[in-house]
Amino acid sequence: MDEQLLQIFEENTDKFLSGEQLSVKLGCSRTAIWKHIERLRQEGYVFEAVSRKGYRMISKPEKLDIPNISSRLTTETFGRHIRYFDEVDSTNNTANALVKEGGVEGTLIIAEKQTAGRGRMGRQWHSPKGKGLWMSLILKPRIPLHFTPHLTLLVAVALCRTIRQLTQLPAGIKWPNDLLIDGKKISGILLESSAEEEKLHHVIAGVGISVNLQAEDYPEEIRGIATSLAIEAGKEVNRSELLVHFLQELESLYKVYHEQGFAPIKLLWEALSVSLNKAVRTQSPQGLKEGFAVGIDDSGALIVRQEDGSLTKWYSGNIEF
């Protein structure tokens, strides 16, 4: 139905079409037409509505131009194979399926919309159509399994540097890998790895960047804690440009990591962190833990000074400060 309605609007961009005309053409009620138009609006289509004249389509949501992105990429492997979808449940699920069919390192899976985007700790990730970058990258790092947390921090560094360079917005990293601007979340990273015994087989690096969402695009319950690049910058941000820069930055840091180890990534992470030198707390199965974040160790764990002066390490969780 949405497809048929869109086709009629696309063939009549110079005309207003009344609810009555559309309902006759599509054999449904005017209320059904109105509901479909509202749904299309939520997906980024813009309609002008004039009483007694009807509706006219003004613009369609911008789609990622994959051939153009490929031609601008200067990477060796990252994004050299791209699987692009209009809609998937979760790009991490698609990537997991693809890797089993032999998907190679650097393959990018990207979708305009996710219907069941997944966040850390079983949370949902809101991924409306055409408004963000919802993507997963297949990685086959040559590292021991227990080094996998390094990659989480590495992806956060690449993303934070990209956002800063491209938008000049003051993005910072909240341990381990949330990206915040003025305390509000702009991006999330979900790494999923597969290993046999101690041998790491592959990692799926899922990255969600809220690029051009407006406040009304967010469910009410996250409106106060989430933001987008467009909201912060006061103008739309080009998704393709952001993607090209991110893949390039990520590949170059990934090479540095394989050649020089975690030390240079750790330095960059510390410089971009908004969690260090702050009082922090987290809910653990043993109850509330509190302390003062003083740094990260060589495994990527957060080093926290407790009230009695002793140092402890937090390996996972969601911190608040």
Site mask for ligand BTN (CB under 6 A), range 172-211, x = bound: ------x---------xxx---------------xxx---
Instruction: Report, in Å, the least distance between residue 237 CB and ligand BTN.
Output: 17
Beta bridge partners of 290: 281
Binding residues: 90-92, 114, 118-120, 185
Give the per-residue contact string, 72-91, with ligand BTN (x = CB under 6 A; - = no): ------------------xx
Kindly state whether residue 317 participates in binding ligand BTN, applying the rule CB under 6 A: no
Give a three-class secondary structure readout of 23-59. Answer: HHHHCCCHHHHHHHHHHHHHCCCEEEEECCCEEEEEE
Number of residues that bind ligand BTN (CB under 6 A): 21
Q: In what order do the strands lie in the sheet with 172-174?
A: 82-88, 108-114, 132-139, 199-210, 184-196, 178-181, 172-174
Contacts of 260 (CB under 8 A, 6+ apart): none
Q: Which residues pair with 191 in a beta bridge?
A: 205
Residue number, 77 or 91, with CB nearest to ligand BTN: 91
* From 5, 73, 82, 135, residue interacting with ligand BTN (rule: CB under 6 A): 135
- How many angstroms separate the CA atoms of 19 and 56, rounded? 11
CA torsion 146-153-64-88 (nearest 10°) is 40
- Which residues fall in the annotated binding site for biotin? 90-92, 114, 118-120, 185
Q: In whole angstroms, how close is the CB of 93 to ligand BTN at the nearest point?
A: 7
Q: Which residues bind ligand BTN (CB under 6 A)?
A: 90-92, 114, 117-120, 123, 125, 127, 134-136, 178, 188-190, 206-208
